[in-house]
Amino acid sequence: MLTTEVLDAVGGLTAHLKFYAAKLPPIVHVSALPLGLKPSFEAVDSYETIVSRVRSQSAGTPYKTLNESLVSSLEAFEIGNLLRAVQPLLSALDHLERMQRDKEIEMGRMDEKRLKEYRAALHKVLPGNKPELDGAGQGM
């Protein structure tokens, strides 16, 4: 397994999260939906396929350490918990950067660029990253 293949998988998972986040209403009251809104069966199946592919191909490679984060993200996605699905992917990206820094893996310029793009896309999914909220809570 190559870094490019791992980033392809993370990109696919990120796309699923962005698509799912776009379908959610802007405000979901927690008492009404404590577990969130569940994604479609097809979306969960596709997400699971990506995670399974990485798990099977990463055996015996430095990337096997990412499996736990990817499975955590899948489990959160299955129940509709968007926030808990994003955090493990961000952790996986952090781990990839550490692996590169420690010379465990090689990452080209294009892969570094993709990693930054996926991180930015995942951060945009998180609450509080809306431009209309800039300055909120700072008083008058």
Binned at pLDDT 50, 70 and 90, residue 129 comes out as: low
Q: Once rounded to an integer, what is the mean pLDDT over residues 112-121?
A: 95
Q: Tell how far CA 1 is from the center of its chain.
A: 19
Per-residue pLDDT tens digits for 19-40: 988 887 666 554 444 555 788 8
Residue scoring higher pLDDT (28 or 41): 41
Question: What is the value of pTM for the model shown?
Answer: 0.82
Which whole-number Å values give the CA distances from 66 to 6, 75, 76, in the listed order?
9, 15, 16
Q: Where are the domains of the chain?
A: 3-22+37-126
DSSP states of 86-113 as a string?
HHHHHHHHHHHHHHHHTTSS---HHHHH
